[in-house]
Amino acid sequence: MKTLIIIDDELFFRKSICSLIKKQENYEIIGEANNGASGAEMIRELKPDIALVDISMPVMDGLEMIRSLVSDCRTKFILSTGYNDFAYAKQAIILGVKEYLLKPVDNRELLDCLDKLSQEIDGERRRQGVISDYYQTRSLYQKHMALNFFGKAISGDCPPEEFAVLKKQAELESTDWFMVLSLKLNNTNTAVWNWETDLSLCHSIMENICTEVLHQTYENLLYVDYSLFHQYIILGLKNNFCEVTHLENLCEHLIKLLKETVHIPVSIFSGTPKHGAQGIKASYEEALSVQHTSSYKNLTVFKYYNPESLSPEIDITSDICQEILLLLRRKQEEQMVQYICATFDKMQESNCHIRKIYLTAALFITTLDDFITECGCSDLEFTGLQNALDSYKNCENIEQLKKLLTDTYASVLEYLGKNTVSGKTSLIADIQLYIEQHYMDPELRLESIASYFFVSPQYLSTLFSQESHTTLSSYINIYRMHKAKEFLLQQSPSIQNTAALCGFTDAGYFSKCFKKFYGISPKNFLALRSS
């Protein structure tokens, strides 16, 4: 259905046309005006498909009205006049008006004009749809090329010939120096964003803002929509020089815009300029090193890699956070305290560098923060958490640090456990233990577990979600992903064998699950680990 407005100073004419149009199924009158000024305002507001306009009207005539609108208006115009004046027709043609009717208007002639314009509008919409589909396809292609380019570069396995082709596809062929920025989304605002449905929109808005801000200085850049909470930007440089102060100002402005626009606090971590494919990998690892040594998880900060401030012993693939999350979800406080103490005792025995000790402490604290968020609580409820963040570097020895961490964990678990019913907790703990003993079984699912524990699937699903703050299937997948990472780190089996060990019958599906969970494919993970 096409929308129509009538602009004519003759009331009888307007009512006559309205009466005719109301009998037609394909058109709807959405407004009337008795002069050109009111008509122009109505067109700007209602944006009708077609406007029937009289030439001679008070305040502003029809031709003047069209002239004021034509530059930014898609409305099709039909001019009507009581004078058969060629000068009027000539002006109408100049303004792009193709339909010109003499009064008294013949009904059949008017309907023919409307049908003709309607077909023209349909054709334009089809063409616009094709163009829109093209740009959407191109956008998806560019995102795919960006991910492919980035994935190949950070894998460390990209020959010069292939790198040259990938650079061209990613539209970065004019540069050989690169610098990687890591964008980490912190404490996502679930009141604004539903991460199951709004993810693509949020990332698109972020990409547009980042591109607009950084393009002012960096002509060549590539935005990589990498995973749920991690986005990367590859900056193409002319040489190995970077004005850090200027980059810091740009990124701080960018962080502020993102906070105001998408209402999400974002931290940005930067590597240094590097050359070629190996340079992208090196700059990426530098950015990750800065990110993993930053304890300011809940703040919007920019940090630039400084090689003098980081220890070469830092292991960015540390599995500490995964192990501690499992203990927290099972509410095994005693084992958790033992794990904290054992971790730092081992570091002390190894004469580990103080920076690695601080990094490990920061991982314990930020992992606890992740668990608080997972439980549906705000970290603002736990003053001890912020105190731990502020004071862990002030501990004079390992014993003080262990006490700070164990006390912080204990206070958080005590707070979260106040509303827990012991009977239900016991059942859930048994189920979690069962999952840990049978995760390699491809048939492990809600129905089989419910049958084993003699409860209904519906009851088990509801109870598990209430007690664990996650679904049963998600818990199984999380545990399998942790075990998969453990196998890949310690045993280095093939991806297919790892999939089988973790209960997956399809290695391809396992790879998709692994990438969705960790933001990196098993193949690239192994390459990064080996490097």
- What band does 7 get if pLDDT is binned at 50, 70 and 90? very high
Asked which of 12-21, 112-121, 482-491 is least confident by mean pLDDT, the reply is 482-491
- Is 454 in the same domain as 525? yes
Is the confidence at residue 59, as pLDDT, over 50?
A: yes
pLDDT tens-digit readout, 442-486: 999 999 998 888 778 887 888 888 777 788 998 899 889 888 888
- Mean pLDDT for 500-518 is 89
- Is 154 in the same domain as 274? yes
pLDDT tens-digit readout, 384-397: 777 777 777 666 56
What pLDDT is stored for residue 378 in this prediction?
59
What is the pTM (predicted TM-score) of this model?
0.41
151-165, 185-199, 267-281, 312-326, range with greatest mean pLDDT: 267-281
Q: 490 versus 428: which is more confidently predicted?
A: 428
Q: Read off φ and ψ for residue 245, nearest 5 degrees.
A: -60, -40
Q: Residue 395's CB: how many other CB atoms inside 10 A?
A: 17
AA letter at 195: W
What pLDDT is stored for residue 73 in this prediction?
83
Q: In this structure, is residue 74 part of a structural domain?
A: yes
- Is 477 in the same domain as 500? yes
What pLDDT is stored for residue 190 in this prediction?
53
Could you tell me the residue range of the domain that residue 405 belongs to? 320-419
What pLDDT is stored for residue 398 in this prediction?
76
Q: 60 versus 170: which is more confidently predicted?
A: 60
- 295-326: string of b/e by CB count within 10 Å (b at 16+)? bebbebbbbbbeeeebbeebeeeeebbbbbbb
- Is 60 in the same domain as 165? no
Of the candidates 368, 396, 419, which is a domain's last residue? 419
Is the confidence at residue 307, as pLDDT, over 90?
A: no
- What band does 8 get if pLDDT is binned at 50, 70 and 90? very high
Q: In this structure, is residue 118 part of a structural domain?
A: no
CA distances 286 to 29, 153, 209, 311, 381, Å, are 63, 14, 24, 12, 34
Asked which of 36-50, 95-109, 155-169, 271-285 is least confident by mean pLDDT, the reply is 155-169
- Is 331 in the same domain as 395? yes
Of the candidates 380, 395, 419, which is a domain's last residue? 419
- Mean pLDDT for 72-79 is 87
- Mean pLDDT for 275-297 is 72
- Is 217 in the same domain as 236? yes
Distance, CA of 276 to CA of 179 (rounded, Å) = 10
* Residue 408: both structure tokens together: 């912080």
Question: Cβ contacts of residue 163 below 8 Å, gap of 6+?
Answer: 152, 153, 276, 277
Q: In this structure, is residue 113 part of a structural domain?
A: no
- Is 194 in the same domain as 297? yes
- Is 298 in the same domain as 236? yes
AA letter at 334: E
Q: 531 versus 210: which is more confidently predicted?
A: 210
What pLDDT is stored for residue 420 in this prediction?
47
**Structural domains in the chain (count):** 4
- Mean pLDDT for 241-248 is 86
- What band does 29 get if pLDDT is binned at 50, 70 and 90? very high
Q: 506 versus 321: which is more confidently predicted?
A: 506
Is the confidence at residue 77, as pLDDT, over 60?
A: yes
Looking at residue 298, the DSSP 8-state letter turns out to be: T
- Is 145 in the same domain as 280? yes
234 in Cβ contact with 207 (< 8 Å): no
| Nearest residue to 289 (alpha-carbon basis) of 269, 273, 308, 259 | 269
Within 13 Å and on the Cβ side, how many CA atoms surround 291? 25
> What does the mean pLDDT of the chain come to?
79
Q: 8 versus 326: which is more confidently predicted?
A: 8
What pLDDT is stored for residue 452 in this prediction?
84
